[in-house]
Structure 1
């Protein structure tokens, strides 16, 4: 789970704002020092697993708006889901850019399937917040 916070950047002032918004969540880091340790450990874990640790800036206003849009409570798990969705959207956009050089874009300015992809990512975000612990771990639900 820590790997989901890999390379997530948040200023101390923004951490203070976010911590206040998530004050009723006992899982949310209680100090900026704990936040930095979570990010450091998550980055190490992601790299050790062969995953990328692409820098991602946490925009507190965008996160709060996302929570409202997908109808989830602001909390640690919601932040985790938001980061996963943002990374997935970024990876999709990067892949679309690479293939878009030869393709003609729709006149609306939106990538083909972009609205459906956005809806799917927001659904994923809602599911992630409500997912049972361990649901994203390898082997979850597998017959042993």
Structure 2
């Protein structure tokens, strides 16, 4: 997931990686019917989508991302932290939320959850918002998790 696309543009320009960038042009919860169906990736970046989803949709969204990751692939998530107390903006995500969503019970190998920041337009919250940066791997030998409710 690209957010504003900065990460995708940077990676495409300064590495030898190929990049597929996705913003909200389709429903990521129905990835299998998306233009990128059938592709798998070594790395997936979520730059600001997880915290925009309501808590009930988050497990199904992460299960969809797990299905597009190759075994041993890594997911990086940058999500607005519940420690951000400025008014307005999208919903927040706690460290505990991320640890639960990216747990072994959910089919992930959590690497870390670190306090981080969200760089914003200078007129919004002084240009920075408190965030979490999380990394989790799809286990190399396990099948991807099924979406919640299936």
TM-score by length of 1: 0.29
Greater per-residue helix proportion: 1
Greater per-residue strand proportion: 2
Higher RCO by CA contacts (8 Å cutoff, separation 6 or greater): 1
TM-score by length of 2: 0.28
